[in-house]
Amino acid sequence: MAEFVTLEVSEGIGTIRLARPPMNALNRQVQQELRAAAREATVNPDVKAVIVYGGEKVFAAGADIKEMAELSFGEASDLIADLQRDIAAVSEIPKPTVAAVTGYALGGGLEVALSADRRIVGDNAKLGVPEILLGIIPGGGGTQRLARLVGPAKAKDLVFTGRFVDAEEALRIGLVDEVVAPDDVYEAAKRWAAQFTKGASRAIAAAKAAIDQGLDVDLQSGLKVEAQQFAALFATADRKIGMQSFIENGPGKAQFTGE
């Protein structure tokens, strides 16, 4: 039984909930439980979309610094390899994912949010990667996912200075996708996720794979990934259902099965 990270499933939406008061600091146990919850969400056929949520007051305020303060080089190498793997488990969920952020999302906490497909934040949110103020750099994907999301210049500004950005600036630079009142964050995430609970799950997974894998290669290689994912969908029941429904009833009326 997980102590700090749980997966709750309701109406096709899986909520990965971080709950390690007071600030949801990401110690090793939290990281491991996060990976386990992400894998459970991946294989559970009842989960069609995923929300990552830290609660009403805070998303996650970074790594557990006390845990890493006395690490040796070798221990730090092992820790960061584990952290990258654990956070990557969220990005590898082949379903639409959204981070619902209230309060602080800092360091490793922001790196978890960056691993989602979308970020919805409260207008009280503070986001940043302040590791430079500790004499280190982001190590859970922050330098890579952040630069891919907002561009290298903005990423360097945030990483070099370690400063926090508020919700307004985060929206302006493309770090987040939607800003709402803090009390509305989870419901806004549910509204977004609910769009996909009756969708063509295998096609959505193929689209996510094509986009994510394509970003890591040149255009021609990315087009090959897209072509492979496109062709593979012709082996699915949803492709037959979707096309037959379009022919008979027009667009947007198919009743997909997820197969």
pLDDT tens per residue, range 48-100: 999 999 999 999 988 778 888 888 899 889 989 999 999 999 999 999 999 99
pLDDT at position 188, please? 98
Distance CA 17, CA 7 (A): 6
Q: What is the mean pLDDT of residues 228-251?
A: 95
Q: Which domains does the chain have, with CATH numbers?
A: 5-194 (3.90.226.10), 201-249 (1.10.12)
Task: Please tell me the predicted confidence (pLDDT) of residue 71.
Answer: 86
- Amino acid making up residue 89: A
Residue 190 β-bridge partners: none
Q: Among 70-79, 118-127, 139-148, 227-236, whose mean pLDDT is lowest?
A: 70-79
CA dist., res. 118 & res. 177, Å (int): 6
Q: What is the mean pLDDT of the chain?
A: 95
Q: Mean per-residue pLDDT for 238-246?
A: 95
The pTM of the full predicted model, rounded to 2 decimals, is: 0.94
Q: Is there a contact between 46 and 9 (Cβ–Cβ < 8 Å)?
A: yes
Q: Could you tell me which residues are beta bridge partners of residue 120?
A: 100, 178
How many helices and strands (H and E) does the chain possess? Answer: 11, 9
| Range 118-130 average pLDDT | 97
pLDDT at site 64: 77
Residue positions annotated with a catalytic role: 111, 131
Locate the DSSP E strands across 94-243.
Answer: 97-101, 104-106, 118-122, 126-128, 164-166, 178-180
pLDDT in tens, 143-188: 999 999 999 999 999 999 999 999 999 999 999 999 999 999 999 9
Average pLDDT on 191-220 reads: 96
Cβ 93 vs Cβ 116: under 8 Å: no
Q: What is the structure's pLDDT at 65?
A: 82
Retrieve residue 140's tokens.
């859970």
